[in-house]
Every structure is written in C-alpha cells, then in structure tokens.
Amino acid sequence: MKCVKDIGERELIRRIWNQIRAELRFTAIPNTFDDAVAFESRYKYIVMTNDGINEKTDKLPGMSWHDFGWRLGVMCVSDLIAKGAIPLGMLISLNIPKSLEIKAVEMIYEGLIDSAKEYCFELWGGDMGEASEVTIDGFMVGYSTKKPIFRKGMKLGDYVLTTGKYGLTGAAFHYLLKGGIAVSENTMHNIIQAAYKPRVKLRMGVLLANTEGITASIDSSDGLAESLYQLAEINGLGILIHNIPIADEALEYANTNNLDVKELALYGGEEYEVVFSVRPEAIDEVLENMKKNNIEVHIIGKVIERKGVFIQKANKTIPIERRGWEHYSKDF
Amino acid sequence: MKCVKDIGERELIRRIWNQIRAELRFTAIPNTFDDAVAFESRYKYIVMTNDGINEKTDKLPGMSWHDFGWRLGVMCVSDLIAKGAIPLGMLISLNIPKSLEIKAVEMIYEGLIDSAKEYCFELWGGDMGEASEVTIDGFMVGYSTKKPIFRKGMKLGDYVLTTGKYGLTGAAFHYLLKGGIAVSENTMHNIIQAAYKPRVKLRMGVLLANTEGITASIDSSDGLAESLYQLAEINGLGILIHNIPIADEALEYANTNNLDVKELALYGGEEYEVVFSVRPEAIDEVLENMKKNNIEVHIIGKVIERKGVFIQKANKTIPIERRGWEHYSKDF
C-alpha cells in the first residue's frame, strides 16, 4: 500500500481536492488550491468553532477511518447547532505521520464528505503538517440570523431540557473497551453505531436562536453530567435533575451487564444532543415548537441557586459526581 | 515543574483564559469559556485561513516556546494579509502531551498574545487535545471591504513583485541546523531573529485589495521559489525572474560560508513577504501607492506563457529548480 511519503504533500493535496470537488459544491472564493478562503457575508452573525480528534484517544477499536472523518464533521456541526447556528463550511488541519497509508487519508475524507453532504456544509480546504499520530483539527464557520445562544445566560428558575435519550455511547464504550457481554444483534448494532457514527439534529440550529425564551445551551459531547456542570458553573448557579431520558437499548445492555444505566447515561460522552435552559413562562411554547419540528425533547430539571448538579431521589437531593471525560487528568 | 497532567484540562483552560483576558480585549460574543464564538458581521467579505506548527518540525534549536507561539500568530496573519484581508481573531487547537510543563503552555500563549497585540487580532479560545508532541493549529478569521486577492488571477504579461528582501531565514537555518560559521554579532542577531521572530507587514492587508491592478498574491512562507511555482502552476502560466532582492546580512553570511546567496534566498522559507502580480498598465500607480505607505517593494519578474519558473541570466533563461520545503517528501 502506498503511504503519504511516497507521493508527497503536493500530490496528496491534489488528490484530496479532487475527491472533494467530485462530491461537494464549493461556493466560497477562490474555489481551490489556496491557503485561505472567503465568502461575501450576507449573514447577521458569523459563528465559529473548532474541535479535534486524535487517533490514540478517539479512534475506538473497530472504528473505520471513514467513521473517524465523519465524527470530526459531526463534532463541529454539533458545536454550532448548540449555539443556534447553521454550518457554512469547514477548514481542516490534517496532521499525519508520513508512514500513513494514502488509503487512510482518502477514507477520512470520504467520511468528512459524507458528513458534509448530510449536514449541508462545504469543505474549504485547510493545512497539512507532520505528526507522530493522526491528529485532525476542524474549524467550522456557520451563521445565525438571530443572536446565537451560548453557555452563559441561564437564569434561576429556568427549566433544563435535552434533546434525545442517553446511554447508548456509554454502553458502546463499555462493550468495546471493557469487553462487556453483548445483547441482541439489533440492539448491539444501535449501540455501536451511536459511538461509531454519531448523528446530530441540524434543525436545532435553526430552532434554538429563533425560539423565544431559550437562555443558554451546550452540546452533550463531554457527557451529560459534565455538560450540566459546565452550564451550572459558567452561570454561577446549580441544576437539579429529576429525570434522565434513557435509550431502551442502553437499559437492556445495562441489565445484562449488571451496570447502573444512569452511570452510562451521565458519563458516556460523545453524544451530540443539545442541553438547554428555558424561561418558565416560555416552556409551553418551546415544547410545542420542538414537537412541531419533530425534535424529541425532555424536561430533565430546573435551575437552582445552590451551586453544583444534583439529582432528586424520592425526597432527597443528591449531588451528581463530577467526573466527565477530561483530557490530561491524572488517571486518563 | 508542574506539568499538564498535574492540573488537568479544566484548570489549564482557566489559566489560559486568565492570561488572555489580562492582556487582550475580546469583543466577540460570548466573552469566555465556550466552545464557539460569534461576531455581528458588518464586513463585506469574511476571510479565513488555518495554519499549524509542530514541535518536531518547526521548533528550531534555541527557539523559545514564546517564539513558537509568536510564529503561529504571524503565520496566520501572513496568510490573511496576502489575500488583502485584515485579521479579526483566532481560535487555537492546542494538542499537547500530558507531560508538558505548564510553563511551556504559558510561554506559547505569551508569544501568541504578543503577536495578537502587534497585529491587532483577538484570541477567541479554542480546543484542547492530547498528542505525542506539541501540535498547534491556528484558525484565523479576518475581513476585507473589497474583494480579496487570491493565488488565482495572474495574467500573461503581468509584473511579478515582492515586498522585502530574501535570504535571512535561509542563512539562519544553515547556521542553526548545519553549524555554519558565524559572522559579526549584529548581523547574526538579524539573521537569527528573522527565523525566531518573523514579522509581517500588516499594512499590506489593506493595500492589496484596495489597489487596482493587483491580480494574484501569495505569501512567501514556503520559500520564494516554491511560492512562485505555486502562483505559476495554479494560473497555468510561467514566471521569468530577473531580480532577487537579497538582504545584506544574507550576502555577508553566504560569502563567509562559501554559499550561493541565491540558494538561501530562493529556498529559505518561513519568510513572510507578499509575492504578487500586477497588470502592466497599473504598475506605476501600484509602486507609488506602496511607496506612499512605506512598503518596500521590488519588481522581480514577469508572467510568461511557458510553464514553470525561470531566471534570466545574461541572455539565457534558466529554469529554477523546484525544491521547496514540502512535508512528507521522501528525504524530509
């Protein structure tokens, strides 16, 4: 198999461009082979985010390079959606060893292109560098016609909501990394695909900024517990949870493996749901608006004064342990 | 010395934010601790670029982490300037080993902050990941009020110009990497500083897009020869050079070390000058405009039909060898 050093940077860039151009439109200027890109701005707000993946820390056992590329696209789209923005396009920083097979690069871009088709963004090019292992950073630019929603803005008394259900990725990580017991084939398929090929709800990007009464928002990619902690911390408030929406497949897996499904749901991570807060007076309209747009959404708790994140159990308020997935932690 | 794994990601992010906030303004929304950033767009064109540096391939012997951070800022600013754009702000993807000293991260940000002060851009945050060696990708957004200039657009008969003089970084790389003979202290200082702490001409970002008759542009960061080749190639034309502006210090160093100074000038790289093409009928006005703005600029050649890059020697047209600095090449 040919590897990167056999063809060199220039030829590799040419191949990637050809691959992108065969599949995607490209409306920004210029249309290829430059180190920058521009667009004529007709948008009120420009929203930007970056996120990265690393072969060592993010490529699960059995995960393909295609999934790896797809994941990077989804990670960035998810960040923008949680701000109430719609993606426009993406620049890629591709840091790879020179011994990497060309085929791997092509598959990464296949996955990226698929995510670009699915979530309607353009691939604008990027930069290439050498690294000991595959480290790809994605920079995505999007827009919003209304003022974007950020992590800061949550108020005392707000409802806390989330899209979707939790636990699938937690189950997948347990199965893939700790050798758990498989359940039925269909269930395992849904569990594994949640980790290999996560999906986002693009429609939320339009809804969030355009729905009155939404005060703050974050995606749940760091895990539900950590995302709640981050929301609480940046707003100097607390969150009391009374309900964790659990995916059926996660429950089945947890029962078979004698695990607490709440653990899987709170600390899984790599889930790309939106966690957001809503003014109490706007809650009915927000719920109706989400339903009208076919977005599954659950009220999971309320914003309280006491700092931290807690769960209501019978009449007790129990702190939820903060142990998200943090880079560089001692026992990483 | 404390290292990254001793304090964890959250505390490291907090420290970086504090460092940035103490030194720089931040006008984008929100103002900290989010994974995305937005600005209300009042600009006609939004211009974006990304560039990256790696500890192994870009940190020269004797180069400080401060210089390393400074360099990343300059690399991105240079890309924008060459499009006729002015930087607004930057997102950083910081990929670092967990054994890295905190002090190194702080110094990298010191350098970045210094470049941000010097070239008037904001640091908007970013993303953090783990990697075997320090790999930092910068994503910079800028604006232009007129249509940006790209690599594509050069026409047959255009003049080819460059800002500044060449050869300093070539001399520095020779001295630092191949153990060349030092010349006088002052000269060596200028040579080494050109490599450790490169500078850009911010004013060019305004001039390029606002001066009539400029057809294409590229920065010379890949080396003068390679930059000319890229311009020629993307436009399906050739460039004939009759003049290479050489820095006095480079000439002195080359003479002492028995080197061909043209080699240093053509293949040095990591120089951040702007190479651009100008319609013949506009050349006088462009030269006058540059002079009025105190930008040193030289006519170095002309655009010809024959593909490639050539140099005029007496009455002969000799092809310039294409061997820029390319990642992943076999003998890298």
Q: Residue A56 and residue B132: Cβ atoms within 8 Å?
A: yes
- Bridge partners of A296, per DSSP, are none
Residues of A in contact with B230 (CB under 8 A): 33
- Look up the CATH number of domain B159-319: 3.90.650.10
Check residue A147 and report its DSSP letter.
P
B29 compared with A246, residue with greater pLDDT: A246
Neighbours of B218 (CB within 10 A): 27
For residue A79, report the phi and psi dihedrals to the nearest 5 degrees. -60, -40
Check residue A182 and report its DSSP letter.
P
The domain locations on chain A are: 4-144, 159-319
Q: What is the pLDDT of residues B107-143, one digit of tens each?
A: 999 999 999 999 999 999 889 998 999 999 999 999 9
Q: Which of A47, A137, A217, A323 is the mutation pick for testing B, counting most B CBs within 10 A?
A: A137
Tell me the average pLDDT across B41-61: 92
A145 dihedral zone (left: phi>0; alpha: psi -120 to 50; beta): alpha
The alpha-carbon gap from B86 to the nearest alpha carbon of chain A, in Å, equals: 12
State yes or no: cis peptide before B30, omega within 30 of 0. Answer: yes
- Predicted pLDDT of residue B329: 47
Q: Which of A41, A45, A15 is nearest to A27 (CA)?
A: A41
Q: Residue B132 and residue A131: Cβ atoms within 8 Å?
A: yes
Cα B271 to Cα B266: distance, rounded to the nearest angstrom: 10
- Predicted pLDDT of residue A35: 82
Of A12, A47, A234, the CB nearest to B36: A47
> Of A328-332, B101-105, B212-216, where does mean pLDDT reach its minimum?
A328-332
Q: Which of B7, B9, B50 is the mutation pick for testing A, counting most A CBs within 10 A?
A: B50
| Percentage of the residues of chain B whose pLDDT score is greater than 70 | 97
A310 dihedral zone (left: phi>0; alpha: psi -120 to 50; beta): beta
Please tell me whether the interface predicted TM-score (ipTM) of this complex is above 0.95. no
Rg (CA), chain B: 21
Tell me the average pLDDT across B187-207: 96
Type of residue numbered A236: G
Of A9, A49, A124, the CB nearest to B36: A49
For residue B80, report the phi and psi dihedrals to the nearest 5 degrees. -70, -45
- Predicted pLDDT of residue A22: 87
Q: Residue B48 and residue A329: Cβ atoms within 8 Å?
A: no
Of B4, B130, B141, the CB nearest to A54: B130
Burial class, A79, CB count within 10 angstroms (exposed 0-12 / middle 13-18 / buried 19+): buried
Q: Residue A34 and residue B128: Cβ atoms within 8 Å?
A: no
Q: Hey, which residues 70-109 in chain B have their CB within 8 Å of chain A?
A: 79-80, 82-83, 85, 91-93, 95, 98
Please give the interface size between A and B, counted as residue pairs whose CB atoms are below 8 Å apart: 243
Q: Along the 332 residues of chain A, how does pLDDT read in single tens digits?
A: 889 888 888 888 889 988 988 888 877 887 677 888 888 888 899 999 999 999 998 999 999 999 999 999 999 999 999 999 999 999 999 999 999 999 999 999 999 999 999 999 999 988 999 899 999 999 999 999 899 999 999 999 999 999 999 999 999 999 999 999 999 999 999 999 999 999 999 999 999 989 999 999 999 999 999 999 999 999 999 999 999 999 999 999 999 999 999 999 999 999 999 999 999 999 999 999 999 999 999 999 999 999 999 999 888 999 999 986 555 544 33
Cα A173 to Cα A191: distance, rounded to the nearest angstrom: 9
Residues of A in contact with B33 (CB under 8 A): 151-152, 230, 234
CATH classification of A4-144, choosing from 3.30.1330.10, 3.30.590.10, 3.10.20.30, 3.40.50.300?
Answer: 3.30.1330.10
Q: Hey, which residues 221-280 in chain B have their CB within 8 Å of chain A?
A: 230, 234
Q: What is the pLDDT of residues B149-162, one digit of tens each?
A: 999 999 999 999 99
Q: Residue B8 and residue A330: Cβ atoms within 8 Å?
A: yes
Q: Do domains A4-144 and A159-319 have the same CATH topology?
A: no
B104 compared with A332, residue with greater pLDDT: B104
Residues of A in contact with B137 (CB under 8 A): 50, 52, 93, 95, 127, 129, 137, 139
* pLDDT bracket for residue B325 (50, 70, 90): low
3-class DSSP state for residue B180?
Answer: coil
Residues of A in contact with B43 (CB under 8 A): 41
